[in-house]
Amino acid sequence: MSFFKKLKEKFVQEPMEKAIEESMEKKEEKGPVTPEPEETVEEAELLEGETEVQEAEEALEEPDLPNEPDAEAQQPESEEETQPKEANIASKFKMGLTKTRNSFTSKINDLVARYRTVDEDFFEELEEVLISADVGVNAVMEMIDELEMEVKRRNIKDTQQVKEVISEKLVELYYGDEDKGAVEELQTNTDGLTIYLFVGVNGVGKTTTIGKLAHQLKSEGKKVTLAAGDTFRAGAIDQLDEWGKRAGVHVIKHSEGSDPAAVIYDGIQSAKSKQADVLICDTAGRLQNKVNLMNELSKVKRVIEREVPGAPHEVLLVLDATTGQNAMSQAKTFSEATDVSGIVLTKLDGTAKGGIVLAIRNELEIPVKLVGLGEKVSDLETFDAHAFVYGLFADMIEEQTEEE
């Protein structure tokens, strides 16, 4: 099966069919007296694999009236019930990557239109297109080599067909030699408090991401505490406090200028006494001098390690995708100052150069764990390379698979 088709099935068709099937099952169970399932079927039939899928998902849940005993509704989510989420994730990546896709797709289409057959010049220009999307020079070189081999191996002559191989190779490029297709969820503590430490320079989106994550974890039923470890500016403390209020989670804060390690210490004690599941720690990312940064971060980390053995479970470096190569150099500095376990790449929605995801993974060998796809509380997703590539090629995928 073609790769585009596989992506379409994974993110659009299967989830859609599932949603329709489930709504039919619900309808049968409830009998014709309940009006809602009827509506659900109609809605599900209209699905285009876009945001409507989420609506359908919600609609499917609606018929579970609170007082009605419903054995199925009380069961933990089965594999099948998670399917419609795939469509939801794909549509979020599609939305968030609009700028990158528009720029990337038009360049690729233009290239394919100009070169009917695959040759050296075609690859050279393709190299430029990928570099202009911030994929990173080394990653692009690797990619082009792989692509040339694959095109030879499959005896592809028509540039139209190369589009699909590009998308396939981008996914491979992201995963490298590792297990293909594995989505890297955040690590958790199976035995007590999970602690996430957020680091990164000012303005990249640390506090916003913490707010979004707190909201997500809370809606999964987790008890969350936030620690306002960015004590450098009063505004930063208030901002985290505001997110805490919105998400309905507890925030531990001290006054401006106080010792971040002390705030985090208090955060840990509070989280422990409240039996919270997750503590998320904000920090200031002052980069004026690497020695200071290193000292501050290692002090904070020492406190965390001492209070909860095995913590922090993630040290997440937040990078702003719109800053391109600057983000790469920040990543280098921070990895030297502390052990970064994962990257959060924010503001992917604000750049046409979303290829930076691939460069980061390829050059730094640190996994991208979360991506920010907008400013809203729901605009945070676990990074999924397949969904990312779907988002990049969505127009081509939809166009091509319709032709088949």
**Which among Mg ion, ligand GDP, none contacts residue 205 (Cβ within 5 to 8 A by kind)?**
ligand GDP
Strand order in the sheet with 368-372: 250-252, 224-227, 278-281, 194-199, 314-320, 342-346, 368-372, 380-382
Q: Which stretch binds ligand GDP (CB under 6 A): 290-298, 336-344, 366-374, 394-402?
A: 366-374
Q: Are 319 and 201 spatial neighbours (Cβ–Cβ below 8 Å)?
A: no
- The entry of ligand GDP, Mg ion, none near residue 350 (CB within 5 to 8 angstroms by kind) is ligand GDP
Task: Name which position in 54, 207, 341, 351 contacts Mg ion (CB under 5 A).
Answer: 207
Q: Which is nearer to ligand GDP, 296 or 349 (CB)?
A: 349
Using rule CB under 5 A, residue 236 touches Mg ion: yes
Q: Is 54 in the site for Mg ion (CB under 5 A)?
A: no
Interacting positions 201-220 with ligand GDP (CB under 6 A): 202-208
Of 168 and 230, nearer to Mg ion (C-beta) is: 230
202 makes contact, choosing from Mg ion, ligand GDP, none, with CB < 5 to 8 Å by partner type, with ligand GDP
Complex with Mg ion: residue 236 or 252, whichever CB lies closer: 236
* Window 229 to 288, contacts with ligand GDP (CB under 6 A): 239
Stretch near Mg ion under the rule CB under 5 A, chosen from 53-61, 111-119, 163-171, 234-242: 234-242
Number of residues binding to ligand GDP, judged by CB under 6 A: 19
Give the interface segment with ligand GDP, choosing from 83-91, 269-277, 297-305, 343-351 (CB under 6 A). 343-351
**Which of 207, 338 has the CB closer to Mg ion?**
207
Question: Are the beta carbons of 361 and 335 closer than 8 angstroms?
Answer: no
Q: Segment contacting ligand GDP (CB under 6 A): 151-159, 341-349, 385-393, 394-402?
A: 341-349
**Choice between 314 and 379, CB closer to ligand GDP:** 379
Residue placing its CB nearer to Mg ion in the complex, 207 or 322: 207
Nearest alpha carbon to residue 157 among 197, 117, 121, 214: 117
Residue 372 lies near ligand GDP (rule: CB under 6 A): yes
CB of 58 to ligand GDP, least distance (A): 23
Residue 347 touches which member of Mg ion, ligand GDP, none, C-beta under 5-8 Å by kind = ligand GDP
Apex CA 343: angle with CA 342 and CA 349, to 5°?
A: 150
The answer to the question of residue 391 lying near ligand GDP (CB under 6 A) is no
Minimum CB distance to ligand GDP smaller for 324 or for 350: 350
Shortest Å distance, C-beta 206 to Mg ion: 5
Check if the beta carbon of residue 363 is closer than 8 Å to that of residue 138.
Answer: yes
- 204 contact choice in Mg ion, ligand GDP, none (CB below 5 to 8 Å, kind-dependent): ligand GDP
Q: Does 226 bind Mg ion (CB under 5 A)?
A: no
| Residue 8 binds: one of ligand GDP, Mg ion, none (C-beta under 5 to 8 A by kind) | none
Q: CA-based diameter of the chain, in Å?
A: 70
> Which residues within the stretch 181-200 sit at the binding site for ligand GDP (CB under 6 A)?
200
Instruction: Residue 399: name its binding partner from Mg ion, ligand GDP, none (Cβ under 5 to 8 Å by kind).
Output: none
To ligand GDP, the closest distance from the beta carbon of 320 in angstroms equals 7
How open is the CA angle 269-275-276, to the nearest 5 degrees? 85
Torsion sign over Cα 203, 204, 210, 216: positive
Task: Indicate which single residue of 379, 385, 386, 396 sits in contact with ligand GDP (rule: CB under 6 A).
Answer: 379
Given the rule CB under 6 A, which residues bind ligand GDP?
A: 200, 202-208, 239, 318, 346-347, 349-350, 372-375, 379
- Judged by the rule CB under 5 A, the positions of this chain that interact with Mg ion are 206-207, 230, 236
